[in-house]
Amino acid sequence: MQSENRFLDDLARLFAGAAGNVASLRHELETKLREQAERLVRGMDLVSREEFAAVEAMAARARAEQVALERRLAALEARLGVSEPTTGGGDDGPAAPPTA
């Protein structure tokens, strides 16, 4: 009976040691993967969140200014009685010459 308990004790110690080794290996693997991912991201030409937010705000201001200018132009054209509608599409290139 004593030998059976000793066998089970040795087996339990073996499994406990293996579990510790697996945990250590897992931690080391996670560290290596994190380092590789950080190295990969550093190698890319990415912008920071702050830079992106600044450009996004600048684009929103530019769009709001464009809308205000389009409205102002439409009001001026209405005052002058211009019948040509504006497309509001931006830079579509030169207008086609009128056909007779």
Joined tokens for residue 63: 């769009």
SS3 24: helix
- Tens digit of each residue's pLDDT (9 = 90 or more) over 36-79: 999 998 888 888 899 999 999 999 999 999 999 999 999 999 99
Mean pLDDT computed over every residue of the chain: 83
Tell me the pTM: 0.44
Mean pLDDT computed over 13-23: 83
Distance CA 5, CA 10 (A): 9
On the 0-12 / 13-18 / 19+ scale of CB atoms within 10 A, 74 is middle
Instruction: Locate the domains of the chain by residue range.
Output: 1-45, 47-81
Element (H, E) at 58: helix 49-80
Per-residue confidence band for 100, with pLDDT thresholds at 50, 70 and 90: very low
Alpha carbon 10 to its chain centroid, in Å, reads 52
Mean pLDDT computed over 13-31: 86
